[in-house]
Structure 1
Amino acid sequence: MRKRVLSAIFACVFAVGLLAGCANSGQNASGETKSGKRIWKFAHTRAEGTDNDKLANEFADKLTSQMDNLQINIYPNNQLGDYTVVQECAGMGEIQLMLGSMSPSVNSTLSVQIAPYLATSWDEAMALYNSNDGMVYQYVSGQLKKENIKLLAVIPKYFGAIMTTKPAKNIETPGAKKGLKIRVPQQKAFEEFGTAIGFSTTPLPTSDTFTALQTGVVDGVSGGGAEQYWNDYGELCKYLYCTKTHMECHWIYMSMDTWKTLSAEEKQIVQKSAKEIEDEAFKLAKSNEKKYIKLFKEKGVEVYEPGNKVIDDYRDYVRKKVWPKIGSEYGSVWGKLSKKIQNQ
């Protein structure tokens, strides 16, 4: 544990000190400088001009227009480190705001939010993930408090899909052999899921996936969705199977040290603004689902959009065959969450 904490500290000092001058800026937890102006660092994981970048800038504009003496500097495209580094830095008060994926490196149960087949419709996703009373949101929020982080909003991205360079067999039958080897994220849940629905699986980090696809080490990819595949592997994709494997969300959160420096009025401004961004993000994600499928089709990719019966078959099969094997990965919340979903 001590070694991990020290590594995180060194990573934060390097990333933030080198790129933003934080270590020697004279700022406290509020981001306040000696002149009295607050300067916040807002990191996100996507490139400039992407949807996340636009949402981050919109959120920052909402805050700076309503809060005195506040400047927010946005660092896109992992400029302050990847999402794991930034999450730990936020917990230590070195970065004020983040929009990106949730890292399970400190708490592995946080990966419950991408468990397979929690939801298969946008209404179900809204019910589980919304920041008012969504069960997944409430769990993630509670766990982040232990990391000294204040969760502000969920930013839904897409339903998961499987992309391949060769055609899969028996795609309409969940448990039948598909005849392909696919990359899966390095998590037990995705490996169990991919194997259960008939693929041979190879766990790989995202950084190795493009080369593995390009060289034929794997025939396809699971763990992403149409939006990610278009941006990361669009030139290699030949087949896209939109089987709604999981719900992928990004999150907006704040260092708890920074949160505690805000007045009651400022906290209301932050929460109201975050909720407005969240509502916008749900609408954007729904429209993007159609947008990226259309882009793939126009490029000549064969896109399989299963009907409700096939989606239901996959959902029921995975919940029966896979869920009992992955519950231990998520801790005590899994029993409550799975029971709630199956009783709906």
Structure 2
Amino acid sequence: MFLKRALLAGAVLAFAGLSSAMAETTLKLATDSGAKGSPSGDALDRWAALIEEGTNGEVQVDVFYQNELGSQAEVFDLLIAGDVDMMINWPITAYDERLGVLFTPYMVTSWEEALEAYKPGGWVNEMLVGIYADLGLKFFGPWPEGFNGIASKGKYAMTVEEAADLKIRVPAMFPMAESVQALGYQTATIDWSEVFTAIQTGVVDGDGANIIYWDYEYFRDTLDYYNQTKQQFVTGIMTMNAGSWEGLSPEQQEVVANAAVTVMEEAFRDARARDEGYIELAKKAGMTYLEPSDEELRGMAESVRAQVWPLMEERIGSEIMDTIRANASKL
């Protein structure tokens, strides 16, 4: 199956290269999550348009949306290999567990803190620059979405005891599963492309990784509840293969980087309002939106930090965790 997908991805990329032969340089820009017309799909289109405009057409950008080049892991493989040049993606931590910094539970607890930490120059942003460089990737910065929660079918949980009866889908990103388990749930690691079927057939009772947009847009016919547990501040990442970056002229590099900053700034401006808008849409569609009290969230955060942060220290190192402890939200 992987070989078939790889051959298909290669054929699609080859065709794209032929279709853009008139440009001096062609860049392939992809995402692992988001169809054309979705917020992340629109961000891809925006980044591509700014690059083409800024280089007067010298650089053409071919855009590939969710599942067009394979699964989440397969497209990240293509980025690492340089077969895809740029991505807005939600990286798999199997490549480097230090990427788990992105998914540290209860690292920030408010939008204001999140934006200060993740924006260019912020303390989380600065940590990620070096980690991505070690992977052979140029790190531009975040594409923020918001705080995630637990979406479920048929029943929901507000306590650890209630959560024990629910099996929740998580992606293959450390410490996503560990964070949801620390809230009391059973977990199952399932690729994004298979989540709808898994919920529909009862393999899992819900999704425990995403902001409400994804659960409303893709699964609202199968999910009944969204519990805003806020265990992670979810953000995509804007990156480029280092070899592809070095292959650009200094002028082209400036255009690509400036375009990324523009897309990031627009995302920071729009993400909170978009998230709040989808909460209302989910309610109108019949999904029950649950918001724990400040006291309940504090209890969740204290419990999850106590269980998960020591695991993170073992796997990503004390230096990174010392930085997180020094800067994380005060509970």
> Post-superposition shift, 1:121?
1.0
> Post-superposition shift, 1:137?
2.4
> Post-superposition shift, 1:244?
0.8
SS at 2:106 equivalent: coil
Counterparts of residues 90-169 of structure 1 (less than 5 Å): 90-130=79-119, 132-169=120-157
What is the aligned partner in structure 2 of residue 255 from structure 1?
241
CA distance in 2, matches of 1:150, 1:322: 29
Distance 1:283 1:308, change over 3 A: farther
SS at 2:210 equivalent: strand
SS at 2:180 equivalent: helix
CA distance in 1, matches of 2:300, 2:213: 21
Q: Which runs of 5+ in 1 are unaligned?
A: 1-6, 26-30
Counterparts of residues 154-303 of structure 1 (less than 5 Å): 154-169=142-157, 171=158, 173=159, 175-185=160-170, 186=172, 189-303=175-289
What is the aligned partner in structure 2 of residue 3 from structure 1?
none
CA distance in 2, matches of 1:259, 1:116: 32
CA distance in 1, matches of 2:174, 2:239: 26
Distance 1:23 1:203, change over 3 A: closer
TM-score, normalisation: structure 1:
0.84
What is the aligned partner in structure 2 of residue 49 from structure 1?
37
Q: Which runs of 5+ in 2 are unaligned?
A: none
CA distance in 2, matches of 1:146, 1:127: 24
CA distance in 2, matches of 1:342, 1:299: 35
List per-residue Cα deviations over 1:109-160 (Å, max 9, x = no partner): 2122112211121112112221x22333233322222222111231012211
Q: Which residue type is aligned with residue 134 of structure 1?
A: G
Give identity over the alignment, percent. Answer: 23
Q: Which residue type is aligned with residue 212 of structure 1?
A: A
What is the aligned partner in structure 2 of residue 306 from structure 1?
292
SS at 2:175 equivalent: helix
Paired residues, number:
327
Distance 1:333 1:160, change over 3 A: farther
- The farther-off stretch of 197-206 and 277-286 is 197-206
Q: Which residue type is aligned with residue 181 of structure 1?
A: L
Distance 1:188 1:251, change over 3 A: closer
Q: Which residue type is aligned with residue 155 of structure 2?
A: P
What is the aligned partner in structure 2 of residue 28 from structure 1?
none
The answer to whether the Cα contact below 8 Å between 1:181 and 1:202 also exists between their aligned partners in 2 is no
What is the aligned partner in structure 1 of residue 62 from structure 2?
73
TM-score, normalisation: structure 2:
0.87
Distance 1:342 1:273, change over 3 A: closer
CA distance in 1, matches of 2:189, 2:279: 26
Distance 1:59 1:207, change over 3 A: closer
**Residue from 13, 21, 24 that aligns with 1:37:** 24
The answer to whether the Cα contact below 8 Å between 1:17 and 1:23 also exists between their aligned partners in 2 is no
RMSD after superposition: 2.9
Distance 1:140 1:11, change over 3 A: farther
> Post-superposition shift, 1:299?
1.4
Larger Rg: 1
